[in-house]
Structure 1
Amino acid sequence: MKAIWNNKVIAESSRTKIVENNYYFPKEDIKEQYFKPSDYHTRCPWKGKASYYHIEVDGELNKDAAWYYPEASHAAKPIEDHVAFWNGVKVTE
């Protein structure tokens, strides 16, 4: 699977996991140069507290476009430290 934004592949993996129709990429399979930490957080009732990244490609910023669970709940441990995308990031084979 590939995650693409602004015509750049920002993550690529054959080890994604699907949860609630979202592909979660192992953190080691994202291209870190495009990811900037965000102060934004949300809470999922069953997965726990999510942290976010801004994605920056060729000077364009997509705020809070990627999220992950640094300390996932017991039920969500398989996606701990895996990154998922939204806000215009295309995930494709």
Structure 2
Amino acid sequence: MAGHPAPDPVGPGQESVWDYPRPPSLVESAELVEVVLDGVTVARTSRSWRVLETSHPPTYYLPKESFSEGVLRPAPGSSYCEWKGVAAYFDLVTGDVVASRAGWTYPEPTRGFEPLAGAVAVMPSAVDRCLVDGEVVRPQVGGFYGGWITDRVVGPFKGGPGSAWW
């Protein structure tokens, strides 16, 4: 891959985002995934999917039913992913706190991503915190991508200045 930086060294139990494929792959996960908004755990599951794409930390998709009742409110707008199709958005709501367009879903994902139909991803920077097996996630830099950075993955990661063409 011309033009990308040298991958960071991989330690025991780690994976490099530079070993992830393009087009991305979809991998089931049994890790405990939690989303916290306004001090309240609004989603919790041990059944999720990770989308793994070259240069990106994983994006976790949770079954819609793992969210507390009333937390997901449809939000206006849509976007298009060349791999997964047309996305619809959700505000995450608890009490008086609204995380605007913090969640998204693919109602009719493209071939290969069918398990994501109705599953919801969350932008970690838009909520108090997201956790994977108890580890607090670090949001992917840049505000556009929804990757979840944990100690399990090494970069460098797309999203920061100068990474647009990686």
TM over 0.5: yes
State the partner residue of 1:60. 97
State the partner residue of 2:126. 88
User: What displacement does 1:29 show?
Assistant: 1.1
Cα RMSD after superposing both structures: 1.2
Instruction: Report the secondary structure of 1:32's partner residue.
Output: coil
Q: Which structure shows the higher helix fraction?
A: 1
Structure 2 residue ranges without an equivalent (≥5): 1-32, 53-57, 134-166
TM-score by length of 1: 0.91
Per-residue CA deviations over 1:31-63 (Å, capped at 9, x if unaligned) read 131111111211100100000101112201111
1:13 corresponds, among 45, 56, 61, to: 45
User: How many percent of aligned residue pairs carry the same amino acid?
Assistant: 28
Listed as ranges, the matches of 1:10-89 within 5 Å are 10-20=42-52, 21-86=58-123, 87-89=125-127
- Report the Cα distance in structure 2 between the residues aligned to 1:32 and 1:40, rounded to whole angstroms: 22
Question: After TM superposition, where is structure 1 displaced by more than 3 Å over at least 4 residues in a row?
Answer: none
Structure 1 residue ranges without an equivalent (≥5): none
TM-score by length of 2: 0.53
How many residue pairs end up in the alignment? 93
User: What displacement does 1:14 show?
Assistant: 0.6
Residues 23 and 91 of structure 1 are in contact (CA less than 8 Å); yes or no, is this contact kept in structure 2? no
